[in-house]
Chains A and B, each alone.
Chain A
Amino acid sequence: MRPLAFVCICAAISLRASATDVAFRLVDAVGAPVADAVVSLVALDAPAKISPPAEPLEIAQNGQEFSTFVTPLVVGTTVNFPNEDKVSHQVYSLSPAKKFVFPLYKPGTRGTVTFDQPGVVALGCNIHDWMRAYIVVLGTPLFGKSARDGTATITAVAPGFYRAEVWHPRLGKNETREISLAASDITARTESFTLALKPDRRIHRSPEGSGGGYK
């Protein structure tokens, strides 16, 4: 057993030592950084093991908005939807990856859903049409979300062949690219994507002024 254990430990150390970070730099057509894009690496030679977090994630409703606009997570993750608002909400999804609708629920209560299929889940509130959020359910544990500066980093990626994927709510089709990470890649790798984003067509929240009327 001892020689076998030694070999395993050495292999693990070797793998860890050869793992590298993959940084993503995302810009739109005019070079502006793109936030809230989900980047992921799908292993093409050996599927990566997925282990959903033991604790549920949380997407709250506050100020008649969802607390996070885009949430990437792995298949099998459970999400709580607490209503931290002053008004009732009715959160729903009509997306094929996970269809659900909560009954109208009051402040201080919450709903819970486990996302068991990969895909994009668009969340809405049946009371407040402007409320919108996305959950990107991934079949890989290697993922990240771009910050306001348009960068995202996936850390400790083992050598191998991967398909890099980029998703964004205003992207018609995922941007993909195959990349190869060699054991000799010891410095962080940077992948740059220029995204052709559609116009932002979210429903306006602000009130409408009416006019006219007869006298």
Chain B
Amino acid sequence: MKLFRAAFFIVLPLLARAAGADWAPNITTNATWNSNATNANRLSDVIGALALRADLASSARFALDTDDAVFAGIKLTAEAWPRFDGLDHASLGPRLAWQHKFGLGAHAPVFSLELGGDAIAAREPARRARAGSARVAVRQRLDNATRVILAQEFSRHDTRDFVFDRTGAETSLEVVRDLDERWSLSFTARWRTGDVQSYATPPRPELVALAKIRQPNTTFDRPMVVYSLDARSLSGGLAATRTLGSDTSLTFRYEWRQTERGPLRYVNQLVSAILARQF
């Protein structure tokens, strides 16, 4: 709760005040249906759930020279799960990025290195955490309507309870094509290796053999065990974005994701509606 108070009474007014400078505040609201919030591979354990999320971010641009710039900012996130409020959380943390543009113009490739850190407050005390991430990305416009983004991200999520810790490395490729003045289509492929949490009703000896750590859990309103294990995920996402004026967009997104480790294999299907506004 201290985090929320700090956010609303200190951070937001500072953001608003700074909005008049070279700052670029933006807000993104996201409603996502996750077909398998428990990351389970047995049908009886698969539980779908809706997550509502809002991200408020702002960064200031500092030019180093013609080709280089540093972005320093802050990001506030709140996520609510109406059916399973144990997953509710909020985070606040700084963002720092260095961007290099290889030449002049919109079609010059752009390299960026982004660092982020968050303090995470959660309704379930065991999920309170500190998180950090580093991301390198290269963006290239093929023409005015098509761009490709290749990224590699390393992230670490240290919770109060070890079972919810997550360390991962993710490679992603995104291709975005503007169809006309209003619509654009994007395809994203991701490959991730790292920790995941899979929930299952015991007994599951095959998961016990795989898990680094396990713990009883009632987040999903029934007695389950959460298993933390190292797994590989492959996902493909398709999104259609419609611009609503020059500073707002609405995106509909579908993602299919398969995660596996030995005998464990589960699929998540995520359907999202995302409203983004740049101030």
Q: Which residues of A contact B (CB under 8 A)?
A: 65, 86-88, 90, 92, 94, 101, 103-104, 124, 126-127, 129, 199-212, 214-215
Q: Let me know if A206 and B248 touch, CB within 8 A.
A: yes
Q: Which residue of A lies closest to B186 (CB)?
A: A208
The distance in angstroms between the C-alpha atoms of A94 and B104, with both chains bound, is: 8
Asked whether B206 is an interface residue with its Cβ less than 8 Å from the other chain, the reply is: no
| Count of chain B residues with a beta carbon within 8 Å of a chain A beta carbon | 59
A-B pairs with beta carbons under 8 Å apart, 28 shown:
A86-B22, A87-B24, A88-B63, A92-B105, A94-B105, A101-B66, A101-B104, A104-B63, A127-B61, A129-B106, A200-B181, A201-B145, A201-B178, A203-B178, A206-B243, A206-B248, A207-B28, A207-B249, A209-B253, A210-B28, A211-B30, A211-B32, A212-B270, A212-B272, A214-B168, A214-B194, A214-B196, A214-B233
The CA of A104 and the CA of B61, in the complex, are separated in Å by 12
Q: Quote the shortest CB–CB distance from B103 to chain A (angstroms).
A: 9
Which of B9-17, B207-215, B234-242 contacts the other chain?
B234-242
Name the contact of A208 in the complex, choosing from B101, B170, B249 (C-beta under 8 A).
B249
Q: Is the CB of A90 within 8 A of B247?
A: no
B41 contacts across to A, CB distance below 8 A = none
Set of chain B residues within 8 Å of A200, measured between Cβ atoms? 180-181
* Cβ contact of A207, chosen from B170, B253, B276, cutoff 8 A: B276
Least CB distance, A191 to chain B, in whole angstroms: 29
CA distance A204 to B251 in the complex (A): 14
Cα–Cα distance between A208 and B178 once the two chains are bound (Å): 12
B52 to chain A, nearest CB (A): 13
Q: State in angstroms the CA–CA spacing of A92 and B248 once bound together.
A: 26
B205 sits at the interface (CB 8 A) = no
Of A87, A90, A204, A214, the contact of B243 (CB 8 Å cutoff): A204
Cα of A204 to Cα of B255 in the assembled complex, Å = 23
A124–B105 touching, CB < 8 Å: yes
- Determine whether the beta carbon of A215 is less than 8 Å from that of B197: yes
From A86, A88, A212, B237 is in contact (CB under 8 Å) with A212
Could you tell me the distance in whole angstroms from the C-beta of B182 to the nearest C-beta in chain A? 9
The answer to whether B241 and A208 touch across the interface, beta carbons within 8 angstroms, is yes
Q: Is the CB of B21 within 8 A of A209?
A: no
Q: Which residue of A87, A201, A208, A214 contacts B276 across the interface (Cβ within 8 Å)?
A: A208
In contact, A209 and B66 (Cβ under 8 angstroms): no
Cβ–Cβ < 8 Å partners of B104 in chain A: 92, 94, 101, 126
**Min C-beta distance of B208 to chain A, whole Å:** 22
Scoring A65, A103, A215 by chain B CB atoms within 10 A of each residue's CB, the highest score goes to: A215
Which of A65, A86, A104 is close to B66, meaning CB atoms less than 8 Å apart? A104
Beyond A201-B144, A206-B247: 17 further Cβ-contacts under 8 Å? A92-B104, A101-B104, A127-B61, A204-B184, A207-B247, A208-B186, A209-B276, A211-B237, A211-B239, A211-B255, A212-B190, A212-B235, A212-B255, A212-B270, A214-B166, A214-B168, A214-B196
User: How far is the CB of B79 from the nearest CB of chain A, in Å?
Assistant: 10
- B274 CB within 8 Å of chain A: yes
> Which residues from chain A contact B28 at a C-beta distance below 8 Å?
207, 209-210
Partner pick for A212 among B188, B196, B275, CB 8 A cutoff:
B188
Given A94-B104, A104-B63, A201-B144, are A87 and B251 neighbors across the interface (CB < 8 Å)?
no
| Cross-interface CB contact of B106 among A103, A203, A211, cutoff 8 Å | A203
- Closest chain B residue, CB of each to CB of A199: B180
B250 within 8 A of partner (CB)? yes
Q: How far is the CB of B41 from chain A (nearest CB, A)?
A: 16
- Nearest 5 interchain pairs by C-beta: A209-B274, A209-B251, A206-B243, A129-B106, A206-B249
Q: Which A residues are CB-close (under 8 A) to B255?
A: 211-212
The answer for the CA separation of A124 and B106 in the assembled complex, in Å, is: 8
Q: In this complex, what residue of A is CB-closest to B275?
A: A209
The closest CB in chain A to the CB of B37 belongs to: A215
